[in-house]
Structure 1
Amino acid sequence: TTKTGEITVHVERFRLLAKCLHPLPIEKETEEKTYAAFTDPELRYRQRYVDLIVHLGVRELFRRRTAIVQAIREFFNQRGYLEVETPILQPVYGGAFARPFVTHLHALNMPLYLRIANELYLKRLIIGGFTGVYEFSKDFRNEGIDRFHNPEFTQVELYVAYQDYYWMMELVEALLETVVQRVTGGTKVRYGDLELVFQAPFRRVRYYEALEQVLGVDVRPLNEAALLQLLHQRDIPPPEAPYERIDLIAQLFDKAVEPTLKQPTFVLDYPVEISPLAKRHREDPSVTERFELIVAGKELANAYSELNDPLDQRARLERQAALRAAGGMEAMPLDEDFLRALEYGLPPTAGLGLGIDRLTMLLCDAPSIQEVIFFPLLRPEDGTSPPPPAK
């Protein structure tokens, strides 16, 4: 050390391995205050390489993200499920409500879409004879960017034959309890001002019951005008037109109910109209055997007993196609090849989609999805957007 106690290195000889043309940002101190180094979020995301150099905690966050993926993969592999790969470029998009990215294949002169989900291909594999398959997938949705959404994101989807959504709830409880314990050392996680407990059993509540608990009224008999009034009373904007009555109910749930669900909660039995790929409930055909897992006020997972009746599935997808033709851009188009596959027989199947980015946010106490993606999509550095390419 020097006379002032600063650690130094006595160098007798050195060899230059790489040139550094920029000084690294360092923390600066004055008598009045300490100036933190490299803390502007957008600059950190844009120059993630510098962020990783100067912030050891950021490197640790991404190591934890990898540990989460490894723990999930090990959990599935131990149960004999097969990891697979399905197309990213798809001739027909489906498996979710979302606007896709569109591209063009010159070799065959045909439009293609970046996948918004891989569900329909994974179900084809179950039809083909596999009894359990999963995939970590990069999915793409041409929609907004905010704290919880990035146009490119990661999820894992799992499909297991001869099971249903009740079984899947228990699997998800075991999966998350295992992953959280392995990654954090316990089942309690600090996320902002919340202490989340990932210990089975998780709370369960039915969709319409959750609405009634928050709104104080059963929304099922209400007409469109009454639903709009409920939205207005809570300063919630209606969904974009064109919309149907069920879309008003979904908006009430998303904006009024979901934010109140802090601890891990299974919301069960979603309406048929907003669950076109889920099997009708065995006791109430107006709802489906579907659940979403809500944690800290946001969806973490979506799962259901898969619809395996090809006639019912065709009717529901034809309805989606009609909605799309009427201007509902997020409705799913008709996938004739998937319907043909269903006609060969999909066994009773439970399916799951789990968001890797959002799970990482929870287990790393990250305030935004941009914190847990190495290189999130950002606006151009000069603040402008280039014109679209000529057709």
Structure 2
Amino acid sequence: MGLTSNKVLVLAIVVAAALFIGTVWLWPRLARQSWRAVSGRVGLMLFTQVALFVSVGLAANQAFGFYASWADLFGTETDTGVVVDHSVNGSTGGPLQVVSTSDVPGVRATRPETGGQVQKVDIVGRTTHIGAPAYVYLPPEYFQPQYRKRTFPVAVVLTGYPGTAKSLVTKLNYPSTAQRMAKDGQMQPMILVMLRPTVAPPRDTECVDVPGGPQAETFFAKDLPDAVLSHYRGGKQPGSWGVIGDSTGGYCALKLAMHHPNVYTAGAGLSPYYKAPIDPTTGDLFHGDKKLRNRADLWWLLRHEPAPDTSLLVTSSKVGEHNYNDTMKFIERVQATNRTRISSIILQSGGHNFNTWRREIPPTLQWMSGRLVDH
């Protein structure tokens, strides 16, 4: 049974409940002062607490999509992707392979022409050789005959760390939100490419080209657009691509838009931070390269490099988010550049969680739509 299986969660809850009842039932029998009775009380309390902790942890993982599998949880997911060449009997070769297709969750439609489609894909970077699974949302217009020659704007959507790409589809509801808003005329139809920034699991690369390691930034700035455009009718002209992310993905989105404004004309960071951390999950990202470390610091970029011609959106909450003060300072610093455009969504309250981001996603998609062009 998988980590996200409902059966695992139900089993954990049943075990916790049984241990709790057993503790209440057996406690009077263990009230004596002998070492056996004391050991029994300690054992019951310990196992009950562990069972409760496991149940709460599994429920939280179900709700927020931190880890996709047991291997992901314990850090044993280290295998790199394998390139599989397919014949021309229905599937296409190249750096992007479609694994499966499905309807858009939450959208009642029997055909992609009316409800859109979500495709699960595998992407392998031609220059970085990084392999990453992703989900691609195609709007209904993509399948309609009158739009068969049209290209569509593309928004790359990134999770936090560790995160799972599937959570963007089933928990944060990006495809169904985009489908509904386009249908209501609140945004233009767009292709969404949804994946996590963790392209070398379990390591958190912070979208950095690590010296001698994963070239994560190059993957997102070059390989990912090349792979998507080799398979889909995405916009190839300047102004056709944007990037959105939450938490770690939010930092990556802002950095990619600032480093590569010729690729990403807009970047939206939901609850972002503004400087790459160094901790046990990242390892040594820079290997003593001061220039690389500085470029990963968005504060340093705004002070020492020409302001990029791009649009940025940042979000925070006055109560519940730790990045509020930094976000307000970042807005002021970007405004002082007189070149980079900055917008914000500031909630009165909201924590660093899916519920908060679900409130910010509709206006973020509308903002992104207004800054991307189709051709």
TM-score for both structures, normalised by structure 2: 0.25
TM-score, structure 1 length as denominator?
0.25
Greater percentage in helix: 2
Higher relative contact order (CA 8 A, sep 6+): 1
